[in-house]
């Protein structure tokens, strides 16, 4: 019997208990042993609930119990998660977590500690909710040099953008719904400002390129400035808007960013809607591979956590090698990266076209019948630096959104 402790009985933690209980037989077959939930740690009481019998309020009970083989953490935040993860691994317990803040910040250190102890630090659920993406990067796409990762990595913002696009709802109405459905972070800024997607692309990029990508160095822009008018222009152009976490290898340079992008229906990520996530990985040998599924929510996330528990149980005495060096990957300034830009400007399109062609080059102009006093343009492909230089010469810019060319 493998004894486990679950830290945190919130959305994901309670999902983990539910999955381990509901699928106990098939999980035991796959793990090669029964998984027994010996403790659940939470500050709260749950009177009348079955977990009452195993509920503890003190981490010391867990860490001092030599029968605990695997600690499962679903609390979020770097503290006390980091202290708990370190203590667990030091005491020879494997650690499975859905906590992307912890993984993005302390991933290499905790992986190193797990290796030293012959145990495992596993974090499949930290990116893409229920989608297997960490294990494929570690164990399946190992013949390739990963050239590029583009992901819709945040379920909440994808849910919001999809509803804004399809139902014309306001940002605030949809955010509330996402929170009620248990998709959103406790602090909604983590979702809507792109911080959550930033940590996730940092984790994926670190695994893909083998060196530590510091999330604090990734340019990050959220979706708070996206409006229904942007979607109207998008509709006319056959484009929709998605929040992307992206990283790319260009020669010996690496770029990473999080930002809303306008994308066309040719893009495989175009139809990734609602709370679903999609991750497009480009390898130099395999070409494009796409991963798709539920990116947030209780049971999908719990499914990924429990898959890690099964893996930890199967490798109870061996460390699973993960290539993520603590050596930092130097990211190049995104100002040098190139793309098209969609720009909304005040004024009359006909009157300003010549002036704007002189500033931006060969632009495409878009006007909307029901939106007066402004128009849109799509620029040619240019570097972010060139765009900024040009934009500083153009008056009346309302907004700009990057355009992903396929």
Task: Catalogue the active-site residues.
Answer: 200
User: Shortest gap between Cβ of 171 and ligand HSE (angstroms)?
Assistant: 15
Query: Is 191 among the residues that bind ligand HSE (CB under 6 A)?
Result: yes
Site membership for ligand HSE, residue 240 (CB under 6 A): no
- Least distance between ligand HSE and beta carbon 50 (Å): 26
Footprint on residues 289-308 left by ligand HSE (CB under 6 A): 295-296
What would the two tokens of residue 321 be? Answer: 């090698």
Nearest distance from residue 182's CB to ligand HSE, in Å? 9
Q: Is 155 in the site for ligand HSE (CB under 6 A)?
A: yes
Question: Quick one: 74 or 329, whose CB is closer to ligand HSE?
Answer: 74
Contact 15, 186 (CB under 8 A): no
Report the helix count and the strand count for the chain, using DSSP H and E: 14, 19
CB 293, min distance to ligand HSE, A: 12
- Alpha carbon 124 to its chain's center: 11
* Distance separating alpha carbons of residues 218 and 281, to the nearest angstrom: 19
The answer to whether 101 and 77 have CB atoms below 8 angstroms apart is yes
8 binds ligand HSE (CB under 6 A): no
Give the Cα separation of 133 and 319 in Å (integer). 19
d(CA 269, CA 15): 28
Q: Which is nearer to ligand HSE, 2 or 12 (CB)?
A: 12
Count CB-CB contacts under 10 A for residue 145.
Answer: 12
Site mask for ligand HSE (CB under 6 A), range 116-135, x = bound? -------------x------
d(CA 125, CA 339): 32
How many angstroms separate the CA atoms of 2 and 188, rounded? 37
- Least distance CB 282 / ligand HSE (angstroms): 22
Contact 397, 386 (CB under 8 A): no
Please identify, using beta-carbon distances, which residue of 260 and 295 lies nearer to ligand HSE. Answer: 295
The least CB distance from residue 241 to ligand HSE, in Å, is 17
Is 194 among the residues that bind ligand HSE (CB under 6 A)? no
In the complex, least distance from residue 213 CB atom to ligand HSE, rounded to whole angstroms? 18
Establish if 278 lies at the interface with ligand HSE (CB under 6 A): no
| 233 is a contact residue toward ligand HSE (CB under 6 A) | no
Strands 325-328 and 211-212: parallel
The answer to whether 156 contacts ligand HSE (rule: CB under 6 A) is yes
Which segment (77-85, 104-112, 182-190, 224-232) binds ligand HSE by CB under 6 A? 182-190
Q: Does 184 bind ligand HSE (CB under 6 A)?
A: yes
CA distance 31 to 340: 49
By CB under 6 A, which span of 110-118, 180-188, 278-286, 338-346 interacts with ligand HSE?
180-188
Can you tell me the distance from the alpha carbon of 38 to that of 170, in angstroms, rounded to the nearest whole number?
45
Tell me if 332 sits within 8 A of 255, measured CB to CB.
Answer: yes
Which 3 state secondary structure label does DSSP give 229?
helix
151 near ligand HSE (CB under 6 A): no
Identity of the residue, 73 or 185, whose beta carbon is nearer to ligand HSE in the bound complex: 185
Q: What is the per-residue burial (b if ≥16 Cβ within 10 Å, else e) of 290-312?
A: ebbbbbbbbbbbbbbbbbbbbbb
Helix, strand, coil percent values for the chain (each to nearest 5): 40, 25, 35
Does the footprint of ligand HSE cover residue 154 (CB under 6 A)?
A: yes
Binding ligand HSE (rule: CB under 6 A), the pick from 39, 84, 123, 183 is 183
When the beta carbons of 74 and 390 are compared against ligand HSE, the nearer one is 74
Question: How many residues sit in the footprint of ligand HSE (CB under 6 A)?
Answer: 11
Q: Where do contacts with ligand HSE occur on this chain (CB under 6 A)?
A: 129, 154-156, 183-185, 191, 196, 295-296
């Amino acid at each position: 019997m493998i004894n486990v402790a679950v830290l945190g009985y919130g959305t994901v933690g309670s999902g983990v208990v539910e999955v381990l209980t509901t699928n106990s037989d098939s999980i035991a077959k796959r793990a090669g042993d029964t998984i027994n939930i010996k403790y659940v740690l939470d500050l709260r009481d749950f009177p009348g609930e079955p977990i009452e019998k195993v509920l503890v309020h003190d981490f010391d009970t867990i860490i001092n119990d030599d029968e605990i083989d695997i600690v499962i953490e679903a609390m979020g935040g770097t503290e006390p998660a980091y202290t708990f993860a370190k203590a667990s691994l030091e005491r020879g317990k494997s650690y499975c977590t859905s906590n992307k803040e912890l993984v993005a910040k302390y991933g290499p250190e905790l992986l190193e500690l797990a290796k030293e102890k012959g145990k495992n630090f596993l974090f499949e659920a930290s990116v893409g909710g229920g989608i297997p993406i960490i294990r494929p990067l570690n164990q399946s796409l190992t013949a390739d040099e990963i050239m590029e990762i583009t992901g819709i990595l945040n379920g909440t913002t994808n849910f919001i953008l999809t509803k804004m696009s399809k139902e014309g709802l306001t940002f605030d109405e949809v955010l509330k719904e996402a929170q009620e459905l248990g998709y959103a972070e406790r602090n909604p800024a983590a979702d809507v400002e792109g911080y959550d997607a930033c940590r996730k692309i940092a984790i994926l990029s670190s695994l893909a390129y083998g060196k530590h990508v510091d999330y604090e160095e990734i340019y990050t822009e959220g979706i708070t400035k996206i409006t229904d008018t942007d979607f109207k222009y998008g509709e006319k152009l056959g484009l929709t808007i998605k929040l992307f976490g992206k990283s790319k290898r260009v020669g010996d340079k690496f770029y990473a960013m999080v930002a809303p992008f306008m994308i066309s229906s040719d893009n495989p990520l175009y139809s990734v809607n609602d709370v679903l996530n999609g991750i497009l990985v480009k390898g130099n040998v395999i070409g494009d591979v796409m991963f798709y599924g539920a990116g947030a929510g209780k049971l999908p996330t719990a499914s990924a956590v429990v898959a890690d528990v099964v893996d930890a149980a199967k490798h109870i005495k061996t460390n699973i090698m993960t290539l993520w060096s603590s050596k930092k990957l130097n990211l190049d300034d995104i100002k040098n990266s190139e793309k098209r830009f969609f720009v909304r400007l005040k004024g009359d399109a006909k009157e300003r076209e010549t002036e704007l062609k002189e500033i931006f080059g060969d632009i495409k102009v878009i006007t909307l019948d029901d939106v007066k006093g402004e128009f849109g343009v799509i620029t040619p492909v240019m570097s972010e630096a060139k765009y900024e230089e040009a934009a500083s010469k153009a008056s009346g810019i309302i907004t700009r959104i990057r355009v992903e060319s396929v």
